[in-house]
Amino acid sequence: MSTFALDQIQAQLPQALVERYKDRAGEAWGVIAREHIVEVAKLLKEKLGFRLFISMDAVDRLHLPPEEQDPRFEVVYFLKNIERNEHARLKVRVNEDQDIPTIAKVFQGADWAERFVWDFYGVVFAGGQKRRILMYEEFIGHPLRKDYPLRGRQNLIPERPIQDIFRGPGTNGVQD
């Protein structure tokens, strides 16, 4: 499989690339230092033509063997170069108390993905929006963390006022 993206990163931003390896399917992965992720995203998008942001996710490594537990989270980025028909697979490793610079300025579509990662894993993106995207505001905790209780129950949420429906004079929201 092609290692074009990683070779270019290694050549142009050698300080950003912490580690590179191939997974079982033979795909190339690069681990990026978290301070450099914005530069790497810019390089990939503007110079190397990886213009399509595909998706982003995270991995909670809490129950892996101890040597793989630190740092706890791996945030995974997938980019694609349409002309070359190639993917770039990047990882950033962070601990709970660290944050990652947001790449939403480079790829606008990453905004929702970052909100998703924050919502479900609690990884903070510096400069990004810290708003839940799928769960509701009152939700306590981050459900896809490995230490989220399996049978953890949340309370019923309060009803939201409905702003865009006119309910007659004197009512501007929820009434029982």
Partner 1 sequence: MSDDIAPIITTRKDEATGFLQNMISKGLGWARKYSLFTYPYATACCGMEYMSVAAGRYDISRFGAEFPRFSPRQADLLLVVGTINLKQAPILKRVFEQMAEPKWVIAFGVCASSGGFYDNYAVLQGIDRIIPVDVYIPGCPPRPEQVLDGLMLLQDKIQNQRHYLGNKQPIPERPGYRDLAAK
Of 121, 89, 97, nearest in space to 20 by CA: 89
- Give 24 or 153: the residue with its C-beta nearer to partner 1: 153
- From 28-36, 43-51, 81-89, 148-156, span contacting partner 1 (CB under 8 A): 148-156
Q: C-alpha dihedral over 130, 131, 135, 141, to 10 degrees?
A: 30
Least gap, CB of 144 to partner 1 (angstroms): 9
Q: Please tell me whether residue 151 binds partner 1 under the rule CB under 8 A.
A: yes
What are 35's two structure tokens?
């301070």
Binding mask 89-128 for partner 1 (x = CB under 8 A): ----------------------------------------
- Give 64 or 157: the residue with its C-beta nearer to partner 1: 157
Distance between CA atoms of residues 23 and 121, nearest Å = 23
Residues 22-61 that bind partner 1 (CB under 8 A): none
3-class secondary structure, 73: strand
Question: Cβ neighbours of residue 5 under 8 Å, at least 6 residues apart?
Answer: 28, 30, 44, 48, 50, 79, 81, 86, 88
State which of residues 15, 83, 85, 153 lies at the interface with partner 1 (CB under 8 A): 153
Report the amino acid identity of residue 152: G
Q: Please tell me whether residue 155 binds partner 1 under the rule CB under 8 A.
A: yes
Alpha-carbon separation of residue 3 from 10, 11, 53, 91, 113 (angstroms): 10, 12, 18, 15, 25
State which of residues 47, 84, 160, 167 lies at the interface with partner 1 (CB under 8 A): 160
Least gap, CB of 141 to partner 1 (angstroms): 8
- Give 126 or 134: the residue with its C-beta nearer to partner 1: 134
Binding footprint of partner 1 on the chain (CB under 8 A): 135-136, 143, 148, 150-160, 176
